[in-house]
Structure 1
Amino acid sequence: MRRRHFLELSATLGAGAAVAWSGPAGAAPGATPGRDDRAAGPRHPRYDLIVAADGSGDVTTVQAAIDAAPAGALTPYRIGVRPGGYLGQVIVPAEKTNLELRGLGRAPAEVLIADDRANGTLKPDGTPWGTSGSASVTISGAGFRAANLTFANLFDEAAHPEITNRQAVAVLTRADRLVFERVRFLANQDTLYVNSTAAGVIARAYFRDCYVEGDVDFIFGRATAVFDRCRIHSLNRGSTPNGYVTAPSTDIANPHGLLFAHCRLTSDAPAGTVYLGRPWHPSNDPNAIGETIIRNSWIGAHIGATAWSDFGTWPWRQARLAEFRNTGPGAIASPDRPQLTPSEAAGNDIADFLRGADGWSPHC
């Protein structure tokens, strides 16, 4: 069910390569290089480093920019990425704190950061990458921010029928106080893995005006993650069920898991063939009492009267799954659609999820 532009991009981007952009004239790669980047679209604040695939910036790959950033930064280190495609694994280690990655195109689609392997893809030593290892981008540095770009996993399921473990993560997060604004996350199964360093460790991530697409468990993990005014798009994989939007594995000690507020949940799949989610218990961990709350959002007809599913032997009714004041053809009143009471909803809004002991409020 890979979209055609994925195939075109993966064919164009050679393994480990970064290709030049041939987009709008206002974002032409021939502009004068430099750290005060005003070539791509409107004027931007001064950047510490510019990435440009054609060599017109300071470095040609996103990983090179991250490697060049200082360790332990207490203030933002800003990296501007000029329009183009950048294929290759990107890792932000724990010591690279407060990095900011911003696409310098006019829209998020003009900067693509991607790789193309799945769980079952073999490494050079003949062993599989696994789900975490499949991630195109892994973020372990606290305070990371990204804006106006696209992260993708280009793994082509149809081209690899021999690979049955098809989890292919676009972004894996492991750190606290992360912000994504106007960012696209594209893949099929397991698109966005919001995680932490260990069970019981709270890691917060805030997604504003983002777009996430996939099919099976495509937003999953134990992090506290807030999706604010995002579009969450379920791909039609041509089967029943067509997939699951979320697979939370929130630790029982964490009061907050996944929150979707003022979002739009859309799909081209037939009516009633997609679930809002199912509770994931990694390694059958009984303390992974997953939480997904969807509130004040518009839900398409792809979601049916029974919106939640068991995960193997783990029943969904034992997890923390609920809705509040949703609208749209998929917001169906049903005994299988638990709803928060107004008093419960008052303690489960964006600020409640993000505040923590340090009073973090990136949404303000």
Structure 2
Amino acid sequence: MKKYITLLCCFFLFCYPFPKAWSITIQDTITVSLDGSSDFISIQEAITACGAFPSNPKTIFIKEGIYKEKILIDSFNSNISLIGANKDKTIISFDNYNGQPNIGTFTSFTVKVLADNISIQNLTIQNTAGPVGQAVALHVEGDYFKASHCKIVGNQDTLYASGENSRQYFTDCYIEGTTDYIFGSATAIFDNCILYSKANSYITAANTTTNSKYGFVFLNCKLLSAPNIRKVYLGRPWREYANVIFSNCFMDSHIQPEGWHNWGKPASEKTAYFAEFKNYGPGALTDKRVKWSHFLSSEQNSKLTFDVIFKVENQWMLNTTTP
């Protein structure tokens, strides 16, 4: 009897079609497409197949298409790059929002990044829930995160850039939303990005910790808005020590003359650090800015480099132009 069981097991072992993720050897470069012509049809499957703490960096090329997935890049899925074929046509989309059963702000994400050394490029990440409250598109907590040539699209709470020890770099990205659409506690540089406001509200809601010298730093960005939007604040303090800087940015007329809001917490005016340097455009006039905001000197602005802001400890930014 044992002989027949052994033969039967051998038959299934050699003849049964295993899932593709089991049957291929994961190379350092793999591809994803919806039509089945690549290694995987799911981005999440490709990430999972990269394994835990891969010794070699993994690159996942994603072909054009709308991938309706809720993606988690867990803390052990480090050293992965997601590269789309076209930022307008390679789209990761989901529609969770705060208030759905078992869904809150921090679980409403379309893509959540907990791992270190993750980069994304030429992708659209969107939350399509609509104007229904908090609905995160991209949630990042990992260290050494990079996003380039990406579109991050949503409404309230579009981008959650979080983590006291998380350093995040966004370059040539388009970020849109309504209320507090860039929020969190990370140290993050936004270089040459477009911030597109779709409602009269607030762009940032920083939650910077007392141990972080920098929070959100916007360099050479453009602040634009939908038609008929006329009352947008640069930011308000989610917590007392919120830290936000806008340097050399274009600000259109939708930016409020006051610039900043205290969120109804006068005590935060003493601890929050909201600053500007040589911004330009109709919304950049400083004569009516709130008295508790700051204006950088040329010397202070010259220190807004990767080495200073990020306290760079390795070579992760070597291939990136320093602002």
The structure 1 residue matched to 2:262, chosen from 281, 305, 310, is 310
Deviation at 1:245, TM superposition (A): 0.6
Instruction: Say which SS state the counterpart of residue 345 (structure 1) adopts.
Output: helix
CA distances 1:63-96 after superposition (whole Å, capped 9, x unpaired): 1111111211243200010000011210000000
- 1:130 is matched by which residue type in structure 2? G
The structure 2 residue matched to 1:109, chosen from 78, 88, 92, is 88
> What's 2:208 paired with?
250
**Counterpart mapping for 1:76-91 below 5 A:** 76-91=57-72
Q: What is the rounded CA distance, in whole Å, between the counterparts of 1:55 and 1:217 in structure 2? A: 39
The structure 2 residue matched to 1:265, chosen from 204, 223, 228, is 223
TM-score normalised per structure 1: 0.76
> What's 1:168 paired with?
135
Contact 1:304-1:332 at 8 Å conserved across structures: no
Does the alignment pair 1:332 with 2:281?
no
Contact 1:261-1:350 at 8 Å conserved across structures: no
The structure 2 residue matched to 1:346, chosen from 296, 302, 307, is 302
Tell me which structure has the larger Cα radius of gyration: 2
Contact 1:354-1:361 at 8 Å conserved across structures: no
- 2:242 is matched by which residue type in structure 1? G
Deviation at 1:54, TM superposition (A): 1.4
> What's 2:245 paired with?
293
Does the alignment pair 1:121 with 2:84?
no
- Judged with a 3 Å threshold, the aligned counterparts in structure 2 of structure 1 residues 271 and 152 are, in CA distance, closer, same or farther, namely closer
Instruction: Say which SS state the counterpart of residue 322 (structure 1) adopts.
Output: strand
Deviation at 1:350, TM superposition (A): 4.2
Structure 1: gaps spanning 5 or more residues: 1-33, 36-45, 124-128, 158-162, 237-241, 282-287
Kindly tell me the number of residue pairs found equivalent between the two proteins: 292
> What's 2:317 paired with?
361
Q: What is the rounded CA distance, in whole Å, between the counterparts of 2:93 and 2:267 in structure 1? A: 35
> What's 1:277 paired with?
235
Does the alignment pair 1:135 with 2:102?
no
Contact 1:229-1:263 at 8 Å conserved across structures: yes
Structure 2: gaps spanning 5 or more residues: 1-23
- Judged with a 3 Å threshold, the aligned counterparts in structure 2 of structure 1 residues 64 and 320 are, in CA distance, closer, same or farther, namely same
CA RMSD of aligned residues (A): 2.0
> What's 2:52 paired with?
71
- 1:143 is matched by which residue type in structure 2? N
The structure 2 residue matched to 1:208, chosen from 141, 148, 171, is 171
Q: Which one has more relative contact order, counting CA pairs under 8 Å at least 6 apart? A: 1
Does the alignment pair 1:51 with 2:32?
yes
Instruction: Say which SS state the counterpart of residue 203 (structure 2) adopts.
Output: strand
Instruction: Say which SS state the counterpart of residue 308 (structure 2) adopts.
Output: helix
Q: What is the rounded CA distance, in whole Å, between the counterparts of 2:140 and 2:230 in structure 1? A: 31
- Judged with a 3 Å threshold, the aligned counterparts in structure 2 of structure 1 residues 267 and 194 are, in CA distance, closer, same or farther, namely same
- Judged with a 3 Å threshold, the aligned counterparts in structure 2 of structure 1 residues 115 and 271 are, in CA distance, closer, same or farther, namely closer
Instruction: Say which SS state the counterpart of residue 278 (structure 1) adopts.
Output: strand
TM-score normalised per structure 2: 0.85
- 1:71 is matched by which residue type in structure 2? A
Q: What is the rounded CA distance, in whole Å, between the counterparts of 2:45 and 2:172 in structure 1? A: 28
Q: What is the rounded CA distance, in whole Å, between the counterparts of 2:71 and 2:229 in structure 1? A: 37
Identity %: 32
- 1:84 is matched by which residue type in structure 2? G
The structure 1 residue matched to 2:189, chosen from 205, 226, 246, is 226
